[in-house]
Structure 1
């Protein structure tokens, strides 16, 4: 049973929403950040980068307190307004032929603890604790956890009816993405949505494992401090955007390694031959199209690597994952990369033209070899999560990427 609830969102004023909503901080280059902070006083980036006002890089608890101050200033200056009644918020993202329709709601920390909300990535406790401390000080969620649910015709019908109404937001950001938001405040619709989700066995985190884990830590801390704790307090929930599985797009991360671990090209190929049938490709760029097939770029040439299944055993859902196969057959035993998250010899790339970028990086001598994979499927993500297993880092790049500051949930 998945529990969701509406909330009274803090939202940008209608005439300022296009200026407020921002991508995740990490997605901007230094020059982009500097330009936005200098010329757009309404950007949500001013809240999460409060040191800009003082021309100083501020970190730790001091930064957290200043984030809280900037947030309160946005409220005082009516850049943000608070809705008067609890609502769900239907959110559509569209760019080119890609369109995704989901909704913002509050999800239960208890569901996270009971594995109703399922995970497929590992988290770093240090980062969990840091963000929990951040939430404790600032008192709000501004970046939702992206979660998926099984497509449901009843939900689709409800949303189709809601989108016939005029949206409260309709704007296009500078990256040519159109954003629309509808507020669902009808008690009947809210009750029906809650009832449908109560009948679901699971929700799956697509993006935001650290944010959900940190919300759990925050709730644990607040429970011990709140003598009147009931389980219904805002800190027992966190903001999420729930999207049907068919509206999620999953892309692959390529892997590039700086050296061949002391091996010559010929020695490296001989070692690969134990686990793969190797074919040199003569037709320019080569990208794999099937599971357990890989593309490799080495010394100016593309190769296809076909897994020798007689040499590799599938034992569980994780062992069948291409990112895991690459790790267990090449990256760890041959190239000596044991820590995929922290080893400086490996780099991950994604994007529409990433195969070309991978080739160019190897040709320039920045890396010795590159590997391309086919994207992981939603079914594989669910199999990993249902089995309580963890994917290797950088196994998926998932869209849509949600904006920060579009709706805010106060804890």
Structure 2
């Protein structure tokens, strides 16, 4: 199987994309999803967060949620809101937020290459979240949330996608409630499809930017179905997972910031003294958005501080240790605040940069959190360097914007 394959996408019927498109299932909690579906009977959240159609005390992982998702998908098919393309295509997908534009390709990415490590990971997955996606795929017999993949920018691929987009108007052109514009062009020409398949096959690897649980779940479902009684044609379909692939130089990573509930038994003065042993600490009259790696913003008792890692601390020896999220963990969160395992410690929380520094100050000022830290964004080159070594990044190292929409293209198994 090639690194990527076209597929017959399940899509909103012509003119229905604005009714269907929804934010990714994993950036909303249940309460937010319930508010977003009010007055929107065809929102894809009725499939991706089907608990919105069940009593408010329903466990999002209860079996009836997956059954409801299946029921809602069947209803949208029966009503003609969703239709399946007659043959396999690729889909050019352009996302625009303000001045930022990125153009990628919706594909079925090879599970065999994922399992073999050619599609590279950089995060651990949580079993409970992985199990959730497995149950969702099995209930729907479809993959509905695309994995965000990255490839090293290639002029040939960029030119081909730009030509497809320039040759015809987009079949989908909608602006979501958050102001992000989503455009979609099916790639229907056999020659262009084959050219893209071969162009991606020449790449050494692809990188998972976001969607580790979705890709892991797709691999598990494919493995389980290989053991069943599938005919050859069906088994081939199951060897891919739904993904959108973008060139690395068009991707935008925002900061992923940290909040801690207490000062680990220290008062504010003692805490600042400990921090000053490893960082230069400068108070600021305005919020501190770090301008480069090695610089951090800290918000404590209504005051912003600029922290600069001491020159006495030697450079990191490997790509993971060199990340700012690792340096903050090693030199402050663990030794001073006692956060040894940020993946499991309930004293720490994470805020994506899309919420701005106000998302940090509000929670400290309310008394919910004791201290906040603003970080310089991780760079794509750093992510790829970690993945190339087969290493794993710390949790919540990257926040990609703009987000893709759920519901514009799904992959039926």
Q: TM-score scaled by structure 1?
A: 0.94
Superposed counterparts of 1:21-100, under 5 Å? 21-28=21-28, 32-53=32-53, 55=55, 57=58, 59-100=61-102
Which of 120, 142, 165 is the equivalent residue of 1:140?
Answer: 142
Are residue 171 (structure 1) and residue 135 (structure 2) matched? no
Once the two structures are TM-superposed, the CA of residue 272 in structure 1 deviates from its matched residue by 1.8
- Structure 1 pair 126/308, CA: closer, same or farther in 2 (3 Å)? same
- Structure 1 pair 102/133, CA: closer, same or farther in 2 (3 Å)? same
Tell me which moved more, 68-77 or 78-87.
68-77
Say which SS state the counterpart of residue 8 (structure 2) adopts.
Answer: coil
Say which SS state the counterpart of residue 318 (structure 1) adopts.
Answer: coil
Deviations 1:55-97 (A, max 9, x none): 4636433322232222122111111111111100111111211
Which of 185, 193, 201 is the equivalent residue of 1:190?
Answer: 193
Are residue 323 (structure 1) and residue 325 (structure 2) matched? yes
Are residue 9 (structure 1) and residue 9 (structure 2) matched? yes
- Structure 1 pair 53/264, CA: closer, same or farther in 2 (3 Å)? closer
Which of 387, 390, 396 is the equivalent residue of 2:389?
Answer: 387
Q: Distance in 2 between matches of 1:189 and 1:220?
A: 31
Q: TM-score scaled by structure 2?
A: 0.93
Deviations 1:147-205 (A, max 9, x none): 01111111121122111212211222222222211110111001110111111001011
Once the two structures are TM-superposed, the CA of residue 287 in structure 1 deviates from its matched residue by 2.2
Superposed counterparts of 1:156-167, under 5 Å? 156-164=158-166, 165-167=168-170
Tell me which moved more, 153-162 or 114-123.
153-162
Tell me which moved more, 391-400 or 54-63.
54-63
Q: Distance in 1 between matches of 2:267 and 2:364?
A: 16
Say which SS state the counterpart of residue 253 (structure 2) adopts.
Answer: strand
Q: Distance in 1 between matches of 2:270 and 2:298?
A: 15
- Structure 1 pair 48/305, CA: closer, same or farther in 2 (3 Å)? closer
Superposed counterparts of 1:5-404, under 5 Å? 5-28=5-28, 32-53=32-53, 55=55, 57=58, 59-164=61-166, 165-226=168-229, 228=231, 233-281=236-284, 283-352=285-354, 354-404=356-406
Where does the alignment leave 5 or more consecutive residues of structure 2 unmatched? none
Once the two structures are TM-superposed, the CA of residue 248 in structure 1 deviates from its matched residue by 0.9
Q: How large is the Cα RMSD of the aligned pairs?
A: 2.1
Say which SS state the counterpart of residue 388 (structure 1) adopts.
Answer: coil
Q: Distance in 2 between matches of 1:261 and 1:179?
A: 45
Once the two structures are TM-superposed, the CA of residue 273 in structure 1 deviates from its matched residue by 2.7
Q: Distance in 2 between matches of 1:366 and 1:146?
A: 33
Once the two structures are TM-superposed, the CA of residue 358 in structure 1 deviates from its matched residue by 1.9
Tell me which moved more, 91-100 or 3-12.
91-100
Tell me which moved more, 266-275 or 142-151.
266-275
Instruction: Name the count of aligned residue pairs.
Output: 410
Say which SS state the counterpart of residue 267 (structure 1) adopts.
Answer: helix
Where does the alignment leave 5 or more consecutive residues of structure 1 unmatched? none
Deviations 1:106-143 (A, max 9, x none): 01111111111011111112322332232122200111
- Structure 1 pair 107/352, CA: closer, same or farther in 2 (3 Å)? closer
Say which SS state the counterpart of residue 208 (structure 2) adopts.
Answer: strand
Tell me which moved more, 398-407 or 306-315.
306-315
- Structure 1 pair 3/25, CA: closer, same or farther in 2 (3 Å)? closer
Q: Distance in 1 between matches of 2:371 and 2:106?
A: 42
- Structure 1 pair 127/26, CA: closer, same or farther in 2 (3 Å)? closer
- Structure 1 pair 36/317, CA: closer, same or farther in 2 (3 Å)? closer
Say which SS state the counterpart of residue 270 (structure 2) adopts.
Answer: helix
Q: Distance in 2 between matches of 1:12 and 1:236?
A: 24
- Structure 1 pair 260/388, CA: closer, same or farther in 2 (3 Å)? same
Q: Distance in 2 between matches of 1:92 and 1:259?
A: 43
